[in-house]
Chains A and B, each alone.
Chain A
Amino acid sequence: MTRGRGTGRRWLLVALVALALTAGPPLARAVPTRPVDIDAGTLLGRVQAAEDRPWSGLVETTGTLALPDADQFSDVAALFGGSTRMRVWWRDADHWRVDQLSTSGEQDLVRTGDRTVRWDYERLQARFGEEPSVRLPRAADLLPTELAARMLRGAGPDDVTRLPARRVADRTAPGLRLVPASPRTTIDHVDVWADADTGLPLRVEVYDASGRFLTSEAVDVDLATPSEARVSFTTPPGAGVERDDVLDIADAANQYAPLIAPQRAGGLEADGSNGAVGVYGTGPEQVVAIPLRDREADALRDQLGVTPGARQGATGTRVTVGPLGVLLTGAEGEGGLLVAGTVTPPTLHAVARDVIAGYQYVGVPQ
Chain B
Amino acid sequence: MKVIRTEGLTKRFGRITAVDGVGLDVREGDVFGFLGANGSGKTTTVRMLLGLVLPTSGTVEVLGEPMPARRASVLPQVGALVEGPAAPPHLSGRRHLALLDAAGPGSRRTGRAGRVDDALEQVGLGGVDRRPVRTYSLGMRQRLGLAAALMRRPRLLVLDEPTNGLDPAGIQEIRRLLLDLNAAGTTVLVSSHLLSEIERTCTRVGVLHAGRLVLQDDLASVCGPTGLLVVDTPDPHLAARLLVGRVEAVDGERLLVRDQDAASVNAALVGAGVPVRSLHAQRRSLEDVVLDATSRQAIA
Contact = CB atoms under 8 A, between A and B. Distances in A.
A contacts B: CB pair < 8 Å: yes
Interface of A: 1-3
A38 B35 CA distance: 87
A159 B55 CA distance: 75
Nearest to B68: A1
Given A1-B69, A2-B57, 7 more contacts: A1-B54, A1-B68, A2-B54, A2-B55, A2-B56, A3-B54, A3-B56
A120 B171 CA distance: 79
Interface of B: 54-57, 68-69
Contacts of A2: 54-57
Q: Which 9 residue pairs across A and B have the least CB separation, nearest first?
A: A3-B54, A2-B56, A2-B57, A1-B69, A2-B54, A1-B54, A2-B55, A3-B56, A1-B68
A195 B281 CA distance: 106
Contacts of B57: 2
Contacts of B69: 1
9 contacts: A1-B54, A1-B68, A1-B69, A2-B54, A2-B55, A2-B56, A2-B57, A3-B54, A3-B56
A3 B10 CA distance: 12
Nearest to B57: A2
Nearest to B11: A3
A327 B279 CA distance: 124
A2 B69 CA distance: 11
Nearest to A6: B54
Contacts of A1: 54, 68-69
Contacts of A3: 54, 56
B14 to A, nearest CB: 13
B12 to A, nearest CB: 10
A2 B68 CA distance: 11
Nearest to B67: A1
Nearest to A3: B54
Nearest to B55: A2
A3 B69 CA distance: 13
A3 B54 CA distance: 6
A180 B142 CA distance: 88
Contacts of B55: 2
Nearest to B59: A1
A3 B68 CA distance: 11
A34 to B, nearest CB: 53
Contacts of B68: 1
A151 B62 CA distance: 81
A7 to B, nearest CB: 9
Nearest to B66: A1
A1 B57 CA distance: 8
A3 B12 CA distance: 11
A10 to B, nearest CB: 13
Contacts of B54: 1-3
A362 B55 CA distance: 99
Nearest to B54: A3
A2 B57 CA distance: 7
A1 B70 CA distance: 12
A2 B53 CA distance: 10
A2 B48 CA distance: 12
Contacts of B56: 2-3
Nearest to B53: A3
Nearest to B56: A2
A1 B54 CA distance: 8
B169 to A, nearest CB: 43
A116 B113 CA distance: 74
A16 to B, nearest CB: 24
B113 to A, nearest CB: 39
Nearest to A4: B56
A96 B220 CA distance: 99
A11 to B, nearest CB: 16
A2 B55 CA distance: 7
A3 B57 CA distance: 9
A1 B69 CA distance: 9
A1 B68 CA distance: 9
A2 to B, nearest CB: 6
B51 to A, nearest CB: 11
A8 B8 CA distance: 24
A3 B13 CA distance: 12
A244 to B, nearest CB: 64
Nearest to A7: B54
B57 to A, nearest CB: 7
B202 to A, nearest CB: 31
A1 B51 CA distance: 12
A2 B54 CA distance: 7
B8 to A, nearest CB: 13
A2 B8 CA distance: 13
A365 to B, nearest CB: 81
A3 B55 CA distance: 8
A205 to B, nearest CB: 56
A1 B60 CA distance: 11
A1 to B, nearest CB: 7
Q: Which of B54, B55, B69 has the most CB of A within 10 A?
A: B54
A78 B55 CA distance: 64
A84 B56 CA distance: 58
B203 to A, nearest CB: 32
A1 B55 CA distance: 8
B47 to A, nearest CB: 13
B99 to A, nearest CB: 30
A8 to B, nearest CB: 13
A243 B248 CA distance: 123
A246 to B, nearest CB: 68
A9 to B, nearest CB: 14
A18 B239 CA distance: 87
A195 to B, nearest CB: 58
A150 B54 CA distance: 71
B245 to A, nearest CB: 60
Nearest to B58: A2
